[in-house]
């Protein structure tokens, strides 16, 4: 069974640009989560999507947004990039019913903002 997949693996952008990161969950999983792992800041919860709706949001500015598509894949968009947005962005998925709390992570997208 394929795990969570993310694209691209690496990305270099400059300040002020916009970026879109993509995530495909494990087959059968309907929830998608996004986390930021920045150097020195640890793993921070960004967003949770379930059944196409945003269910919860972490303490991040509105320029971090996303969406979930009918096939449960998801995009994370970051506008007006700042240097401190440089981080590993991790996507996770979980099944919707009996084991919802267990999140399975993808390999991440490493974003460098210059």
Partner 1 sequence: AQSVTQLGSHVSVSEGALVLLRCNYSSSVPPYLFWYVQYPNQGLQLLLKYTSAATLVKGINGFEAEFKKSETSFHLTKPSAHMSDAAEYFCAVSRSSNTGKLIFGQGTTLQVKP
Q: Find out whether 52 and 68 touch, Cβ atoms under 8 Å.
A: yes
Taking CB under 8 A as the rule, does residue 55 contact partner 1? yes
Among 1, 2, 39, 42, binds partner 1 (CB under 8 A): 42
Among 63, 102, 112, 114, the residue binding partner 1 under the rule CB under 8 A is 102
Binding of residue 8 to partner 1 (CB under 8 A)? no
Within 13 Å of residue 4, how many CA atoms lie on the same side as its CB? 28
- Give the footprint of partner 1 on this chain (CB under 8 A): 4, 6, 31, 33, 35, 42-43, 45, 48, 50, 55-56, 58, 90, 92, 94, 100-108, 110
């Amino acid at each position: 069974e394929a795990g969570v997949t993310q694209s691209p693996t690496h990305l270099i952008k400059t300040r002020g640009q916009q970026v879109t990161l993509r995530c495909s969950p494990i087959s059968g999983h309907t929830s998608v989560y996004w986390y930021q792992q920045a150097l020195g800041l640890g793993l921070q919860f960004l967003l949770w999507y379930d059944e196409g709706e945003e269910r919860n949001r972490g303490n991040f500015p509105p320029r971090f947004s996303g969406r979930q598509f009918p096939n449960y894949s998801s995009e994370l968009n970051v506008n007006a990039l700042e240097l401190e947005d440089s981080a590993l962005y991790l996507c996770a998925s979980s099944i919707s019913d009996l084991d919802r709390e267990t999140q399975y992570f993808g390999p991440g997208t490493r974003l460098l903002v210059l």
